[in-house]
A and B are shown apart, each in its own frame.
Chain A
């Protein structure tokens, strides 16, 4: 096929294994400044993203991104194999052989301890307050979710989830971003220190979330689905690891990166992370 060739610089390792011996067809779902979302039959959402941005589940970093973006249109056909991502109608090829795999695996060397967690979370509270945008109705529902989750009552949590999934403007509604942040934090807590209470919550919450994720936008559904598999965008999982690790190394940098996710997704994810920390620190029983 003739046409223009672009370079893939990173690929999500799991995505690479999923597509290695298969062929998927799909269409461009949406195009943004720094990301192109493609919906593949039988595979789901794959995001082609600018190398300036972060890695994430089912992400492929490709360059030069702005030229690539300029050649594609919403609904452009796409074919993905283990060898390349192709958009036939404008004639775009992105060979995947040069792409470095990104595993998304992060490691907590030494657990921070409860006092340190509490200190870190108090800093984040200030950041959250300084980012309030006046959308009272959304804020109120998020507060309600927080109370429900901290109460530990399954019925209350379910009711709160009903009102929060898909709540808010935009591509990934604020409510979903909060849930993703919460899910990421609770999944990042090492299993050996989780304790029974926390493990039980993670299990119940994941099941409830699974029941609800069809009620939101396709992109958000996909991110939550990946989240339920323990896969998150890099700035979110890196921040959770920095919070849980002893010392403040990388905390500021990771917070800054998280706040740069989406238009307002980062700050909403941070709310979820803080909720996760609060939940972890809450008295058990």
Chain B
């Protein structure tokens, strides 16, 4: 049923109208909705998608048309009510006391003269100038922007060090400073553990596990993914480490990164050995033995780094285990899944939104099932020739640049990821689809809800072909996150997803299922 409602001479900005249309589309029973001015071009567009009726056709260019395609009159009426409510809300938001969003650093500082940190997210080519301006004004910087040259990064970091300031980034997506989450970060309470990381979802996974075990953090300092490369030389990781070591509230430090350059590892090991506080290192895929030989606590997974930190703070002995549940329970879960797989279903396909989570899963699975193809693989032979097509056991990080050009990151919008999930289910060799579900500030408000249609569709695709697909996932988040951790968990479990406590455990479970239980004790 098509209904058009006309609001004469009403004006709203484009973002507001897009939001209204998008919220209306979430209403049950609503097939399509639009909120547009009644210009000829817009009416033509609405006509083409079958949303216009005679009421809409009669609207003029200065009238707002709310066009709704609902299953029945009740749905249409309810959607109209919702549209009016949303527009009214927007009107009151635009009232007297509305906050003006500053458009420049000067304007922001005029408003918040006491601020001592600035988050910068502008196109890469302008980032150096903005970050330099902020540092020269004595402000710490979190630089969200990427596409900044390594030369500029070094220059900015040296400038920051001269002024004893933090220069987090470029390409720094996660930090928690003095309890304030910046970028993609979770709601984590204050506590005795300090984190420094060159990896966004690495920091998120570690801080979330710590929070779920009842502890908190002092700071989580992001350095940007390139900081530990040879050229940059770990300039900011070194500062973060020294700052946390000197911080009276920090009792223990966790470092997280992909493997640093050899020279950088040596330099950091020297600093770690000189630290007054205990330091746990998680350089995913790095040379753990070298670290251990030097007496440094090194871990293989993000989970292990977090749990070890919790144990040390609590004065408990850390005991490594593959699953939170007992091995026999894990075995039962795995069996319930693999008993439904056909013989030919022997591959795992991981569709990730977090790069470090994808990498962690890749490393865990490599030990258990052998070669893993990936867009993140270090070995040329395991790199995907075409990132849009999976091969054998394969994990893809859909948050990587090659997937996000011109489209939102999968943590924000799961459209591309959903398509890939269904695509994987069409492959008769696939037995498991492995997912990460990242919550927190900046992430989709209901990421589980956004993934469900794809999970259902993929299940249906397999079912129609006489197969079963096992979904394995973990949630990176905390009960305090805006998405409601428990509700997200419930949605996934109700959809039949095997939900594990951590990403590493989900990887072990995926291995156990695909090997029909053989790797359970590995």
Least Cβ–Cβ distance between A246 and chain B, in angstroms: 18
B37 and A173 contact, CB distance less than 8 A: yes
Across-interface contacts of A164 in B (CB, < 8 A): 41
**Minimal beta-carbon separation of A37 from chain B (angstroms):** 8
- Interface flag for A216 (CB, 8 Å): yes
- Identify which of A52, A137, A162, A170 contacts B14 (C-beta below 8 A): A170
A130 to B294, CA, bound (A): 45
Q: How far apart are the CA atoms of A217 and B41 in the complex, in Å? A: 11
Nearest-Cβ distance from residue A216 to partner chain B, whole angstroms: 5
Q: Which of A155-192 contact B (CB under 8 A)?
A: 162-171, 173-175
Asked whether, in the complex, the Cβ of B45 is within 8 Å of the Cβ of A167, the reply is yes
A70 at the interface (CB under 8 A from B): yes
Q: Is the CB of A135 within 8 A of B126?
A: no
Q: Is the CB of B14 within 8 A of A171?
A: yes
Inter-subunit contact A127/B37 (CB<8 Å): no
**Is residue A264 within 8 Å, beta carbon to beta carbon, of the partner chain?**
yes
Bound CA–CA A34/B37 (angstroms): 21
- Count of chain A to chain B residue pairs whose CB atoms are closer than 8 Å in the complex: 124
CB <8 Å contact, B103 and A257:
yes
Stretch at the interface among B92-100, B162-170, B197-205, B419-427: B92-100
The answer to whether B49 and A264 touch across the interface, beta carbons within 8 angstroms, is: no
State which of A31, A52, A173 has its C-beta within 8 Å of the C-beta of B107.
Answer: A52
Give the interface size bracket for B toward A: 35 or more
Is the CB of B465 closer than 8 A to any CB of chain A? no
How near does chain B come to A157, taking the closest CB pair, in angstroms? 15
**Residue from B13, B40, B41, B48 whose CB has the most chain A CB atoms within 10 Å:** B41
* Binary contact readout B108-144 vs A (1 if CB under 8 angstroms, 0 otherwise): 0000000000000011011001000000000000000
What's the least CB distance linking B237 to chain A, in Å? 28
Q: Are B406 and A129 in contact (CB under 8 A)?
A: yes
B36 interface residue, CB < 8 Å from A? yes
Q: For the complex, count residues of A whose C-beta is within 8 A of B.
A: 51
**Bound Cα distance A133, B95 (Å):** 26
Q: Is the Cβ of A217 less than 8 Å from the Cβ of B16?
A: no
Q: Is the CB of B12 within 8 A of A260?
A: no
The reply to whether B18 and A32 form a contact with Cβ atoms under 8 Å apart is no
A160 CB to nearest B CB, Å: 11
Whether B17 and A170, one on each chain, are in contact in the complex, defined by CB atoms closer than 8 angstroms, is: yes
Partner of A217, one of B37, B96, B100: B37
Tell me if A263 and B15 are in contact (CB < 8 A).
Answer: yes
The answer to whether A171 and B11 touch (CB under 8 A), given A132-B407, A166-B37, is: yes
B345 on the interface (CB 8 Å rule)? no
| Contact pick for A169, options B18, B103, B123, CB 8 Å | B18
B311 interface residue per 8 A CB criterion: no
Closest to B102 in A: A52
Contact B41 A167 (CB under 8 A): yes
* CB atoms of A215 and B14 under 8 A apart: no
Q: What CA separation (Å) do A260 and B13 show in the bound complex?
A: 13
* Chain B residues whose C-beta falls within 8 Å of the C-beta of A21 in the assembled complex: none
User: A137-B45, A169-B18 in contact; A32/B39 too (CB < 8 A)?
Assistant: no
Bound CA–CA A171/B11 (angstroms): 6
By a CB distance below 8 angstroms, the chain A residues around B49 are 137
A225 within 8 A of B: no
The listed residue (A74, A168, A260, A264) touching B36 by CB distance below 8 A is A168
Q: Could you say which residues of chain A place their CB within 8 Å of the CB of B14?
A: 168-171, 173-174, 262-265
Q: Does A121 contact B (CB under 8 A)?
A: no
**CB nearest neighbor in A for B95:** A70
- A196 touches B (CB below 8 Å): no
A128–B39 alpha-carbon span in the complex (Å): 25
Return A169 CB to nearest CB of chain B, in Å. 4
A126 and B13 form a contact (CB under 8 A): no
Contact A133 B18 (CB under 8 A): yes
Told that A162-B41, A165-B40, A167-B45 touch, could you supply 10 new A-B pairs with CB distance under 8 A?
A: A70-B96, A129-B406, A138-B45, A166-B61, A169-B17, A171-B37, A173-B42, A252-B125, A256-B104, A263-B15
In the complex, 23 of the A-B residue pairs with CB atoms within 8 angstroms, ordered by the A residue number, are A33-B98, A33-B100, A66-B96, A126-B147, A127-B123, A132-B407, A134-B408, A141-B41, A162-B41, A163-B44, A164-B41, A167-B42, A170-B13, A173-B37, A215-B61, A217-B11, A217-B37, A218-B62, A219-B11, A252-B125, A262-B13, A264-B13, A264-B14
